[in-house]
Structure formats: C-alpha cells, structure tokens
Amino acid sequence: MLALVIGGAASGKSEFAESLAMSLAAERYYVATMMSYDAEADRRVERHRSMRRGKGFATVERPLDLAGMELKSGPDAVVLLECASTLLGNELCMPQGSGSGAWQAILAGVERLVNSGINVVVVSNDVFGEGSAATPEMREYTRQLGLLNCGLADMADCVAEVVCGLVQVHKGSLVSRGRA
C-alpha cells in the first residue's frame, strides 16, 4: 500500500502521516531525508524526533539514493518517508545526487519499497500556491516536484491533502490495519 500525504508548510501533514503509518503496521521505519546544516534545520530535526519518540519508529537517515536503501523488514512493516520534497532538493543540489533525473530516482526508490511488500507513507510539500519561483534553480525544483508528486499520486492507493490540520482525501480511502 502506498499513501501520499501532501500539504503546505506547517499544515499538519507530518502529524497526520505519522498517525497513518502507525495505524498500518507494528514494525515502523522513519526514513529521514533532511540533513542538518544550520540551527534552524537542527530545530526542525529535533522537533520531528520528539514527535515520534516512544512511538516505535526506527529512524533511517537517507538524504540520497532511496532506491539503494536496504531494510530488513518483516511482513508487517511500514516506511514513513519524511519528506519527498526534501529528498528531491538533496538529489538535485548535492554533487552525489541524481541531478536532472532526481524525480525519477525518487519515484524508483518508492516503487522498489512498494514492490517489496512494505506499506509506504510519503510526505511531500505543496509549493505551488506560494507564487512563482524567482531563480532558474527554484523553477527546476518546482517543476521536478510537480512531476514527482504526480508520479507518486499515480502510483498511490491513497492521496490525502492536509490544510490547516484538516484532511481531504483525493484518491482512494484511508486504510489502517484490518479496516478500510
């Protein structure tokens, strides 16, 4: 099962995605894509760590190469990928990243996880309501994020958008262990 959870900054998407992941499986992996590079990033990383403390998530730091990630998981497992938009930025901008093929590389990584039988919940940002991108790099990031989000939505069993903490399901239905 693949669920895509999308929303703007501070929309509540991370909290919702975490809750969904916890309802799907007892064996939980949190794939963290953000790298700490300044004090603000450190605060965001710590906030996310404290949100999932005591909830049974094993954290896997994976800022690049999602397709190359190896998990030794059982049949009742879920991966919470937090978040696809950060992973895209890493893949686009880091020298060892996928560059112009970033969105396809991430999509291939998610597809590999789903095909392995693992439940996957992907968090991604909606940056399209924030005005036009000012630089060529931001325009390319926005273009690739659009392609990535569309590709994920196409693959997904469920697509949910979170706005102001309110969840709107656009595709499929919310599912949890043992119930639809």
Side by side, which strands form the sheet with 166-171? 57-61, 27-32, 77-82, 119-125, 2-7, 158-163, 166-171
State yes or no: is 48 an active-site residue.
yes
**Beta strands per DSSP E along 89-165:** 119-125, 158-163
Which residue is it, tokens 């709107």?
A: 168
Task: Check 48, 52, 88, 141 and give the catalytic one.
Answer: 48
d(CA 56, CA 160): 23
| Catalytically annotated residues | 48
